Structure 1
Amino acid sequence: MVSAPHEAMHRIFQECPGLFSRLSDVLGLELPPLTSAEPLTVDLTETEPLERRVDTLLRIETRNDGPFLLIVEAQGKKDPGKTASWPYYVTYLNNKYRLPVLLLVICQDHATAAWAARPLTIGLPQWPTVTTRPLVAGPHNMPVITNVAEARKDLALATLSAITHADNPDVDAILKTMSVALRDTPESIAEPFVELIAQGLGNRPAAQQWRNLVAVDLSFYTSPLSEEIRDEGREQGRAQGRAQGRAEGRAEGRAEGGAESRAEDVLLILGARGVGVTDATRERVAACRDLELLRRWLVRAAFVAASEEIFDKETSADQ
């Protein structure tokens, strides 16, 4: 039950709205002269549901300090609306779960990261009532991982690093490091990272570089991206075969596995890259049963400009 003193302590401001202008002097809060004050409704109930969703919400347990909530927001550009929504997320979740709340924002460019890192205040400039301080991870503070051993130590961190550095001039080296690090990783573990990097690169030029690396270094995986690349290669191979009059029957009839499967992969990569495959190249690759030789041809297929160059020992990709 609300007590009489409780009512008196706040109702006096309803009776005398201008009281705060005198009280501010007592509190040492410097304000410009107030011109008016009027009571508003005290009912803060929302009559219509308003949908608000965070990107990811985790409950984190700690050894000594107890649990806390982690909000993860992915921010691709500056958004003035976050000035209101981020403080709301923090205060709402704190009130709902009665747990400390940490807000983490992930960015891919320096300007957005600097904008997101600014404290968000609610209140007056002289005395903020609520301050929300996002923790920001982006290209300004995420490590650039180009060492395979370092990437293998923490594949999740290395994947996030590759995503946040999508616009880094050295992104090719970063992606090559990831493809090598994932090469000997069990497919069930590697597959989510392969797909997340592809998603994180979006439609940037580096996305095609990643597809080429997946096609070569991770050609044995059955992840959605790997299968998509194979499907594209098969489709282009069939189209080229129709033009040449006989490639489709050979490509579709070739059995999976062993040297035949690796030979097919060589031709698929060339087709996916739009490299014309001559009859002589196709026959030589199809007839080869040397797995190590086929492996070298597969690597070269991701870089050569003409199909017969996969047989050139001096190809730059093989140096």
Structure 2
Amino acid sequence: MVPRTYHADGMVLFCDPMDRPLLAAVLEVQRGRDLAKQRTWKLYVAQLEAELDVDTALVIFCPGPATARWYRRLLPSDGPSGLLLQPLIFTPGDVPLVVDVERARANPALVVLSALCHGGSPEVDTAFPALLEALRSVGPKKEILYYDVVLAGLPGAARARREAFMTTTADYEYRSELFRNIAARRDGDAVLTVLDTRGVPVPEAVREKILACTEQAQLKLWLRRAVTAATAADVVNE
């Protein structure tokens, strides 16, 4: 028999100050039901424990609560196998929305995870100040990495509202090269997304004017106006 190769979504190794392994974790994202996972997940755990000689936890993130309930029912009755899986299964509802600034400074990674889990909810906007402080607290090198994670993970509407917050309320300079490039290309889209999210109708002529504009200063001005404007015309009128 030729062994197959399996790849987990992610693996993390926790070490002491001397770089000696203390604990490992297999990280999986599960969006649907898959009976085969109760066997392949054992391979991930067993491989790490055998290779690193360290206890290994299995952590499963299920975006949908129904999927999480299904796996919780499935895995405790694991059958006659000698390797029982006891994963830590969590959903966005199990992650608190972090809005406290002091808590954000103390645990930046939790704030980033919280924002990503609640990105589809309008309430995520209340976490933007805490997220800003979390990024500032980790130092320039990590800040760029965290910023790119947030940028990639937030849905389009939430990302546009965050762009508006960073350029208006926070007056924040984009430090991530990826974020700067996307912002330069898509400021026009951001203006339209903010208006659409707020329920402000955009006539076709105004939409074309916004998308045709290539002046970054003008687009940033329109983006600031889009946050509070009553009509689309109020955004682009001189």
SS at match of 2:59: strand
219, 222, 225: which is aligned to 2:179?
A: 225
73, 86, 102: which is aligned to 1:133?
A: 86
Q: Sequence identity, in percent?
A: 23
Pair 1:134–1:184, CA change in 2 (3 A): closer
Contact 1:219/1:226 (<8 A) preserved: no
Unaligned runs of 5+ in 2: 191-207
Q: What's the counterpart of residue 209 of structure 1?
A: 161
Contact 1:57/1:70 (<8 A) preserved: yes
Contact 2:99/2:127 (<8 A) preserved: yes
> 1:231, CA displacement in angstroms?
2.7
Distance of 2:116 and 2:87 partners within structure 1: 20
After superposition, what is the alpha-carbon deviation per residue over 1:257-303, rounded to whole angstroms, capped at 9, x for unaligned? xxxxxxx54x22255x5xxxxxxxxxxxxxxxxxxxxxxxxx54544
Pair 1:111–1:208, CA change in 2 (3 A): farther
RMSD: 3.7
Distance of 2:171 and 2:139 partners within structure 1: 11
SS at match of 1:60: strand
**Where do 1:149-298 residues align within 5 Å?**
149-168=102-121, 170-179=123-132, 181-182=134-135, 186-203=139-156, 205-216=157-168, 217=170, 219-223=172-176, 224-233=178-187, 240=209, 251=215, 265=217, 267-270=218-221
Distance of 1:242 and 1:210 partners within structure 2: 20
Distance of 2:97 and 2:211 partners within structure 1: 45
Contact 1:87/1:120 (<8 A) preserved: no
Unaligned runs of 5+ in 1: 1-45, 252-263, 274-298, 311-319
Distance of 1:178 and 1:186 partners within structure 2: 14
40, 54, 64: which is aligned to 1:99?
A: 54
After superposition, what is the alpha-carbon deviation per residue over 1:114-154, rounded to whole angstroms, capped at 9, x for unaligned? 33445355434xxx533101113432322221122221221
Bigger CA drift: 52-61 or 73-82?
A: 73-82
Distance of 2:89 and 2:211 partners within structure 1: 53
1:53 and 2:7 aligned: yes
The number of aligned residues is 214
After superposition, what is the alpha-carbon deviation per residue over 1:44-69, rounded to whole angstroms, capped at 9, x for unaligned? xx32x412111222222358x96232
User: Which amino acid letter does the alignment assign opposite residue 6 of structure 2?
Assistant: R
Pair 1:192–1:73, CA change in 2 (3 A): same
Distance of 1:111 and 1:199 partners within structure 2: 25
Distance of 1:270 and 1:220 partners within structure 2: 15
Contact 1:269/1:301 (<8 A) preserved: no
TM-score by length of 2: 0.70
Distance of 2:237 and 2:106 partners within structure 1: 36
Structure whose CA Rg is larger:
1
Distance of 2:107 and 2:30 partners within structure 1: 23
Distance of 1:303 and 1:200 partners within structure 2: 26
After superposition, what is the alpha-carbon deviation per residue over 1:164-208, rounded to whole angstroms, capped at 9, x for unaligned? 2234452222245424654687543322222212222245x4233
SS at match of 1:189: helix
Distance of 2:189 and 2:115 partners within structure 1: 30
> 1:218, CA displacement in angstroms?
6.1
Bigger CA drift: 300-309 or 50-59?
A: 300-309
Q: What's the counterpart of residue 288 of structure 1?
A: none
Pair 1:231–1:51, CA change in 2 (3 A): same
User: Which amino acid letter does the alignment assign opposite residue 235 of structure 2?
Assistant: S
